[in-house]
Structures are given as C-alpha cells and as structure tokens.
Amino acid sequence: MDSGRDPHALDHRQALKITFGVLLPVFLGSLDQTIVAAALPTIGRDLGHFGDLSWIVTAYLLTGTAVTPVIGKLSDIHGRRTTMLASTAIFLGGSVLCALAPNMVSLVLARAIQGFGGGGLILLAMTILGDIAPPKDRAKYYTYFVAAPALANTTTK
C-alpha cells in the first residue's frame, strides 16, 4: 500500500540540520553588513576618503545583484552544495582582502569581490530551503531564514 510519502523526502531533523548549515553563511554575510555599516566612519577617517565611503557599500550591492542570475544558473548546472561552498569561499576571500586593503580603492575592489560571493549566499540559502522543504512546510523553514539576519543585527549592538 502506498502511503503517498516520497521515500527520498527528508525527515524534519535532517531538514533542520541542512537549514542551520545553510543559514550559517547567511548569518555571516548579514553580520558583515552590520559591522561594515557601523565601521564606515572609522574607515573613512583612517583612509582619509569620506567622500568615497558610499562606494564601500555600493560595490558590494552592485556585484551581489549582478551575479545573482549567474549563481542561480551555476547552481542548476553544478549543484546547490558546490555553488554554496564556492560562494562562501569567494565571500571569505573577499573578506580577507578587505582586511588587508591599504587604501580606499583596494577596499572598494575587495568589497566588489566579496559581493560576488555574498550575492550567492542569500539566493542559494532560499533555493536550498525550497528544495528540502515541501511546499506546505516552507513557511516554517523560511522563518529560520528571517531569523538569521535579525540575530546578526542584534549581536553588534
């Protein structure tokens, strides 16, 4: 007798493990944005370019937005896990470059690299959550997704 349940479907415990694993990079990206926003005045003072501070945020947002459709297609071709790991690695590499940036131009370019990776973090997290959760349970898992950036915003205050 067929129970109507997909034999390959994940149980709730397995889905939660994947959910929390996927949301760690989202938390990391959100925490980065919160820290950068708080540090902008200090960055401008240390590098002496207050007029160019908006480029620190803009470079990240532009590259993160531009790369979104490409990341989606790459995840269809190469798989969600591989693409999420690559996005996380690019984001972390960009973070290291940001930390080592000696001037404003280097920092803006490093933030652009970081944006390439960061653009995939949120997109892939939502896609993976959509893949693992049946439609009737997705709202439950997306609640966790909303909690990650909220938690990142509260940890820096």
In a domain, 4, yes or no: no
Instruction: Give dist(CA 111, CA 150) in Å, integer.
Output: 22
Q: How many CB atoms lie within 10 A of CB 83?
A: 22
* Least confident stretch, 47-61, 75-89, 139-153: 139-153
Contact between 23 and 125 (Cβ < 8 Å): yes
Whether residue 56 lies inside any domain: the answer is yes
39 found inside a domain: yes
pTM of the model: 0.84
User: What would the DSSP string read from start to end of 3-22?
Assistant: -S--TTPPPHHHHHHHHHHH
pLDDT at 2: 44
Domain total for the chain? 1
Residue 89 lies in a domain: yes
State the residue range of the domain holding 138: 12-155
| Amino acid identity for residue 8 in this structure | H
Residue 139: give its domain's CATH number: 1.20.1250.20
Encode pLDDT of 33-49 as tens digits.
Answer: 888 888 888 888 888 77
Residue 19 lies in a domain: yes
Residue 50 lies in a domain: yes
Residue 7 lies in a domain: no
With contact defined as beta carbons under 8 Å apart, do 130 and 141 qualify?
A: no
pLDDT tens digit string along 82-93? 999 999 999 999
How far is Cα 132 from Cα 30, in angstroms, rounded to an integer? Answer: 23
Q: 115, 25, 4: which is closest to 66 by C-alpha?
A: 115
Decide if 5 is inside a domain.
Answer: no
